[in-house]
Amino acid sequence: MNFPSMSGMPGAAPSGGAPKKGEDPKNITGSFDPTALERAAKALKDLDASPNANKAFEITKLQEHTRQKELNKETEQMAAARAQAQAQQTAIKGEEQRKTISHQQEQERVTAQYKAQLESEAYAKKLQDQKKQNEEWLEMQRRQFMEQEEIRKRTEKDLQVERRASAEHQARLDRELQKERIAQETQGRIQQEKENADVHIRQLRARAAEERKTKIEQIHATLGSIGSAFASTLEDTGRLTAVVGTATALAVGIYGARAGTGVLGRWFERRLGQPPLVRETSRWTLGRGVRDAMYGLFGRSRGTFTEKIVLPEELDSRLTWTTNSLINSKKNGTPFRHLMLYGAPGTGKTLFARTLARESGLDYAIMSGGDVGPLGKDAVNEVNKLFKWANSSRRGLILFVDEADAFLRRGRGTEGGMSEDMRNVLSAFLAHTGTESDKFCVVMATNVRDILDRAVLDRIDDSFEFPLPGLKERSRMISMFMEEYLNKPLKSGKKILIDPSIDEAYLDSVAKSTEGFSGRQLAKLVIGWQSAVLGGSQNMILTKNVADLVLQWKLSHWDDDVDAHERKRDLGISSGSKAASPVKPGTVV
């Protein structure tokens, strides 16, 4: 029979217990207590005698089985823990591996980014170096161009001096040779005349005697014929009356035809002719009518106004108002208003007058004040003819006087300030414009308004000042001139190509750098681009480099321009004065 282990039962404490301090451990006889053993034996007996002994054994077996299961469970848990540990170790290893790959990729990305940055910096440095090289090349080209231009100028100047000296030397030699030849010929003729004096005298005497005899005979014959004819006429009364009537009629016809031809010619000149002072007119004249007929016969047509004018908004609105005023004045029969245009050269005063005449529907005539002075004493008569011709216009006429200050300036009251002929011309002009007229309108143009005579200024009803174009107007003008001179095909059929770098932004920068330029100077700039392409480019392309070279040349030689000189002259600025000079284009104020 199996008995349960005694380990689970409560053990009996020995009676004596552990040896106390001070006792002899070898002497255990007197310290042993058997009570515990007795109780254990009694419990075994009771257990064997008990009917629940088998159940207790079964319980013990179940406890053992449970203990085995717990051990198995613990083993399985340990295996699961070991598998979980392995899985965690695998996950940790994978995570570490993923982190390693990510770190490698990050390092590769940083390396690629750094490499790209290095390449970008290298490319930027290359572009900077290329830009610097281009700028140096442009500067070298500009210096070479300037040096070549200076060399050309010096060479041309030297050649002119040499040609002038050579011409003067040749003229001096020619004069000396001419003097010597004339002296020799004169001396020879004198010598020959001296040698042949006697022969000439005898020949002259013989010729004179012969001519005297012949003339005496002719006189006798003529007088005899006249005497006989006069005697026969006096004898015949009818014949005498016919002769006298014929001579009288012939004289009256000759002198009448001469006087009538002069009157008729003056009438045709006044009605159909054009005064000599008029340079250009839209009014029909006899010569112009013949030309129009010839153009129509051969299929040609006269040119029409195609000029374009760029004006500030305020001036453009005043132009519209003045045009409407002129149209309404002609329709309503009210007097015309006399106008004055003043401003710097090349700002569009002539174009303004032509546009005004074209928009108003009136005839126009253009004259220059510089044409009056050379006429001298005939100037007054020509001015009178001009205003008579203007008064004969049926549609109304706009008389544009360009350079009016040439003969209408101040100086009548100062001695020596104006010649007598010019004073008479000014008086004639004032006489014709002193009263209102519904036949003609006078439009005067001058660079400086205050130099005109006060009486002339008193005739002016409205004045228009033409300033230098602003930035907006310069941009419009440059685009307009580009279209006119570069975009249109040439007469040869070729077309100038424009580099894409010359875009709107570049033209705006050109407009900013040309501050102080007039419209005429901007047109010259664009024409300079055209000439540079036609003269130096084989492929007919206007590049930015060529445009920059021409622009820099224009800016550096702006003071040499005729318009700039006239502007300074009109403002009273000397060539050496710097304090009062206007702002030079391309400079920053």
Predicted local confidence at residue 267, as pLDDT: 55
203 pLDDT more than 70: yes
434 or 297: which leads in pLDDT: 434
Residues 233-240 have a mean pLDDT of 66
124 CB neighbour count, 10 Å cutoff: 10
Q: What's the average model confidence in pLDDT over 155-184?
A: 82
CA distance 140 to 553: 14
pLDDT (mean) for 86-102: 88
Sign of CA dihedral 331, 332, 333, 334: negative
* pLDDT reading at 430 higher than 90: yes
- The top-scoring range by mean pLDDT among 269-278, 380-389, 550-559 is 380-389
User: Distance between CA atoms of 423 and 406, rounded to whole angstroms?
Assistant: 12
359-380 burial string, b = 16+ CB within 10 Å, else e? bbebbbbbbbbebbeebeeebb
Domains located in the chain, CATH noted: 280-466 (3.40.50.300), 471-571 (1.10.8.60)
Query: Across residues 215-240, what is the average pLDDT?
Result: 73
Query: Cβ distance 342 to 448 under 8 Å?
Result: yes
Distance CA 335, CA 548 (A): 52
pLDDT in tens, 134-146: 888 888 888 888 8
Residue 56, SS3?
A: helix
What pLDDT is attached to residue 298?
37
The H-or-E segment that residue 444 falls in is: strand 440-446
pLDDT digits (tens, 9 = 90+) for 439-451: 899 999 998 888 8
Scan for tokens 């008193």, then name that residue. Answer: 458
The mean of the pLDDT values for the chain is 77
Q: What percent of the chain has pLDDT over 70?
A: 75
Please, which pLDDT band fits residue 259 given cuts at 50, 70 and 90?
A: low
**pLDDT tens profile 458-488:** 999 988 888 999 999 999 999 999 998 888 8
Q: What is the pLDDT of residue 559?
A: 63
Average pLDDT over residues 175-197: 76
Q: Which of 171-175, 434-438, 465-469 has the lowest mean pLDDT?
A: 171-175
- The neighbour count for residue 426, using CB atoms within 10 Å, is 23
Write out the two tokens for 322. Answer: 């003045």
What pLDDT, on the 0 to 100 scale, is given for residue 471?
92
- How many whole angstroms separate alpha carbon 357 and alpha carbon 353? 6
pLDDT of residue 93: 87
Nearest-CA neighbor of 518 among 558, 485, 488?
558
- What pLDDT score was predicted for residue 268? 53
> What average pLDDT does range 522-545 have in this prediction?
85
pLDDT at 209 over 60: yes
pLDDT digits (tens, 9 = 90+) for 345-396: 888 887 887 777 666 778 888 899 889 988 888 999 999 999 999 898 888 8
Examine the pLDDT at 230 and tell me if it is beyond 70.
no
Q: What pLDDT does 10 receive?
A: 44
Phi, psi for 399 (deg, rounded to 5): -95, 110
Give per-residue pLDDT as tens, 23-80: 555 555 556 677 878 887 887 777 677 777 677 777 877 888 888 888 888 888 888 8
pLDDT score for 321: 85
Q: Is the pLDDT score of 265 beyond 60?
A: no
Distance from C-alpha of 537 to C-alpha of 171, rounded to nearest angstrom: 43
pLDDT at residue number 475: 92
Does 300 score more than 50 pLDDT? no
